[in-house]
Amino acid sequence: MATAVLAASLPRHRPLQRPPHAALGPEPRRCASGIAPSRPSPPPAAPRRRGSSTTVGTPIAASPEKDCVSLPAPVPLWRLALPTLLCDLPDAEEAASSGRRRVLVAGAAAFLSRPNPAAFAAEAKKGFLPVVDKKAGYSFLYPFGWEEVAVQGQDKVYKDVIEPLESVSVNSIPTSKEDIRDLGPPDKVAEALIKKVLAPPTQKTKLIEAKENDVDGRAYYTFEFTAQAPNYTRHALGAIVIANGKFFTLTTGANERRWEKMKDRLHTVVDSFKIENRI
């Protein structure tokens, strides 16, 4: 009897209700680059143990200014960072049309000095291994001894097991553009790509060179840059191209202290990058 009275006197606790997930904002519209940034699903809430300092990441939200996906720094998700970058390129169509004559002249000169692709492939066999991705439609060479590793947000990554800064990575995302020159001249596109995608915002970057090359009638932008961190500097090369409805990026590099030893091999990697023509 006393137990029943005690139980009746205790307050009834209502079951806890989970708050709804935070809204991710409106669906981002297609940007001037022709690439629609995808909206990721919110990450599942992970249980937190007592005394643990682990926190759940903040969901990616749509930017109210440009309606493009904004990312926290540093940017680990290449596929989301690149569409944001292309949205930020100002007046890409106008810049491309006004500067196209200048870069075409530079591209013609570069093409004359570029080795024949067939002869180059035969020469590059020694000391390099080929990568041919028939599904994605690209191929390139990487130095013998590097190993393939899986990195989130990257299509392919090969790296040296001893020197962590010596690596090559390839990425691709869909686009409605048909030519890399539609995004602007080489220096402007490379500068934006380096600062907003290829290097963390805390690193000091410097664009050394950017140019246009013509390979089998298709325009490629290639560039060289450095990214300075507190305890090291990475010297890197990159190549970008638009083909078959995709925007492709290849980047490779090494520690600045090993640049003189590695630069010829890294140039070979960039020069070997080629997109297959598809009808």
DSSP element (H, E) containing 169: strand 167-174
- What pLDDT score was predicted for residue 69? 32
In a domain, 131, yes or no: yes
Which are the contacts of 115, defined by CB distance < 8 A and separation ≥ 6?
123, 271
Is 10 among the domain residues?
no
Report whether 82 contacts 69 (CB < 8 A): no
- Asked if residue 240 belongs to a domain, the reply is yes
Domain, as residue range, for 187:
87-275
Could you give the residue ranges of the DSSP H alpha helices within the chain? 2-9, 78-88, 92-113, 117-123, 186-193, 259-272
The count of domains in the chain is: 1
| Residue 95 maps to a domain | yes
Alpha-carbon gap, residue 263 to 237, rounded angstroms: 9
How far is Cα 252 from Cα 256, in angstroms, rounded to an integer? 13
Q: Of 262, 250, 260, 200, nearest to 230 (Cα)?
A: 200
> Which pLDDT score, from 0 to 100, does residue 31 have?
53
State the pLDDT at residue 153.
85
**Has residue 81 been placed in a domain?**
no
Are the C-beta atoms of 130 and 139 separated by less than 8 Å? Answer: yes
> What is the CATH classification number for the domain harbouring 259?
3.40.1000.10
Helices 78-88 and 186-193: crossing angle in degrees, nearest 10, is 140
One pLDDT digit (tens) per residue for the chain, 279 residues: 555 544 455 555 555 454 444 444 444 445 544 544 544 555 555 554 444 443 333 333 443 433 333 333 333 445 455 655 566 555 444 444 444 444 343 343 333 334 444 434 434 558 999 999 999 999 999 999 999 999 988 999 999 999 999 999 999 999 999 999 999 999 999 999 999 999 999 999 999 999 999 999 999 999 999 999 999 999 999 999 999 999 999 999 999 999 999 999 999 999 999 998 775
Q: Is residue 8 part of a domain?
A: no
Residue 129 included in any domain: yes
pTM score, whole prediction: 0.62
pLDDT value at residue 67: 38
3 part of a folded domain: no
CA distance 267 to 8: 80
